Amino acid sequence: MEIKLSEHFTFAKLLRFTAPSVLMMIFTSVYSIVDGLFVSNYVGATPFAAINIVFPFLMILAAVGFMFSTGGSALIAKTLGEKDRFKANQIFSMLVYVSVIFGVFVSVVALVILEPVLQAFGVEGELLVQSLLYGRILLPFIPVFMLQFMFQSFMITAERPKLGMFITVSAGLTNAALDALFIVYFEWGVAGAAWASVIGQIVGGIIPLLYFACPNSSSLRLVRTKFYVGALIKSCTNGLSEFLGQISMSVVGILYNYQLLRIAGEDGVVAFGVISYVNFIFLSVFIGFSIGSNPIVSYHYGAKDWGELQSLFKKNVSCIGAAAVVLTLVAELSARFLANIFVGFDETLLTMTTYGFRIYAISFLLAGFNIYASAFFTALNNGIVSAVISVTRTLVCECGCVMILPIFFGLNGIWSSIIVAEVIALSVSVTLILKYRKRYKYL
């Protein structure tokens, strides 16, 4: 039986409702690293480094889809809570159409500037060749990539989290199977990894598009709509934190690669690539839980059900705290095993990666609270406060730390930058939660 947003949520019901979102994000994180897994083991270190050089740029371009999905979902769920289903469907449809148009524009521009941008960041030689090959295959499909991001959130708002999880799993399995076929059997190298990703994205973006375009039993479907300027602006401001957060994480990744190329060479980039992949798997638990719980918060905020909003906030924070402890312990105990999956062929790389990840993983104790705090304000339709938390955490703190700490601590400064950034960001999150508690009545 599907759980409705309007229901009272016990711990058990909350976990049941958010579990598909968590699993969906875990699976998304796993299949997003499949390219790197196959390339590192069957093609080589330089092509693997190329994927990690290009991927942050791709995520910057896809950030608009993430902004529309999170910000739009909050607005749509709030509108559903206000019992205006007709307008909710019109806003939903408009956001989908706008994202496709914008995605086409971004793809064209990105193809033109890809090579000079990579060269500006010091990418050269074979690394440049492999990076261009990977990027030029993926960039034309940015609109589909954006749709995949969007529908992961919209499926939850439509009260179809299990269907969203099924589609995501299908996309991931498609990507993984084609990676094995294109890279291992056909020996297409980086190009094979890129085409496998593209086809997986088509599955993840086009199937839900068809679902919402046809008559269905969910809360949402694609309809003829008009251009709601106010709703578009509100969706953008609601999702501003996710947009800036996604861009910030990509910028952080670029700066990490820049510093590591300078201090540790190509091996450092490879080690950080592995850490980034594994980090994404662990953080996906927090992200998935936040995505899954946000429509519930938005609905009850729109319905002005303050008692349920308070109950949800306390339960959500408790779940995040428990997950933080468990994930940190798992990460520390499994660090060498996880690193070995990617770089077991090189003992030096394995040692560097394991050591770096064990320092990096301490941040999991704090990261979940900051991720949730930002997402919570998005759910309350306050994108500005959400953006302050997100930008402070990544663009300000982590970027600053990764540029400054290596001056004093070398490679250890790079690995520990995230811990210092999360500590500073948590102080900002707690301050803002206490400041706005009376306005939104969640405490």
Among 27-36, 306-315, 411-420, the minimum mean pLDDT is found in 27-36
Query: Higher confidence at residue 222 or residue 251?
Result: 222
Give yes or no for a contact between 3 and 15, defined as CB atoms under 8 angstroms apart. no
Q: What pLDDT sits at residue 285?
A: 93
Per-residue pLDDT at 153 exceeds 90: no
**Max Cα–Cα distance, the chain, nearest Å:** 61
**Could you tell me how many residues make up the chain?**
443
How many domains does the chain contain in total? 1
Q: How far apart are CA 194 and CA 50, in angstroms?
A: 12
Per-residue pLDDT at 355 exceeds 70: yes
Q: How far apart are CA 30 and CA 118, in angstroms?
A: 26
Give yes or no for a contact between 69 and 201, defined as CB atoms under 8 angstroms apart. no
pLDDT in tens, 90-143: 999 999 999 899 899 989 999 999 999 888 877 888 989 999 999 999 999 999
Domain membership of residue 5 (yes or no) is no
Portion of the chain with pLDDT greater than 90, in percent: 36
Domain membership of residue 186 (yes or no) is yes
| pTM recorded for the entire structure | 0.73
Tell the burial category of 146 from Cβ atoms under 10 Å away from its Cβ (0-12, 13-18, 19+). Answer: buried
pLDDT in tens, 271-327: 888 888 888 889 989 988 998 888 888 888 888 889 888 999 999 999 999 999 999
Domain membership of residue 4 (yes or no) is no
Q: What is the DSSP string of 356-381?
A: HHHHHGGGHHHHHHHHHHHHHHHHTT
Q: What pLDDT sits at residue 416?
A: 93
**Nearby residues of 380 by Cβ (< 8 Å), 6 or more positions away:** 74, 297, 298, 301, 440
Half-sphere exposure of 286 (CA within 13 A, CB side): 29
Range of the domain at 257: 11-440
Q: What pLDDT sits at residue 144?
A: 93
Q: How far apart are CA 341 and CA 92, in angstroms?
A: 41
Per-residue pLDDT at 83 exceeds 60: yes
Q: Give the residue from 288, 285, 282 showing the smallest Cα distance to 331.
A: 282
- The DSSP letter of residue 227 is -
Domain membership of residue 6 (yes or no) is no
Per-residue pLDDT at 31 exceeds 80: no
pLDDT in tens, 181-238: 999 989 999 999 999 999 999 999 999 999 999 888 888 899 988 888 888 888 888 7
What tokens does 61 get? Answer: 């371009």
Half-sphere exposure of 227 (CA within 13 A, CB side): 3
Helix, strand or coil for residue 160?
A: coil
Q: What pLDDT sits at residue 1?
A: 54
Residue 305: how many CB atoms within 10 A of its CB? 17
Per-residue pLDDT at 2 exceeds 70: no
Span 14-36, mean pLDDT?
A: 79
What tokens does 372 get? Answer: 């949730």
Domain membership of residue 327 (yes or no) is yes
> Which residue in the block uniquely carries the two structure tokens 């046809």?
214
Domain membership of residue 433 (yes or no) is yes
- Backbone phi and psi for residue 281, each to the nearest 5 degrees, phi listed first: -60, -45
Domain membership of residue 366 (yes or no) is yes
Domain membership of residue 32 (yes or no) is yes
Give yes or no for a contact between 435 and 388, defined as CB atoms under 8 angstroms apart. no
H-state helical runs in 214-264: 229-238, 240-263
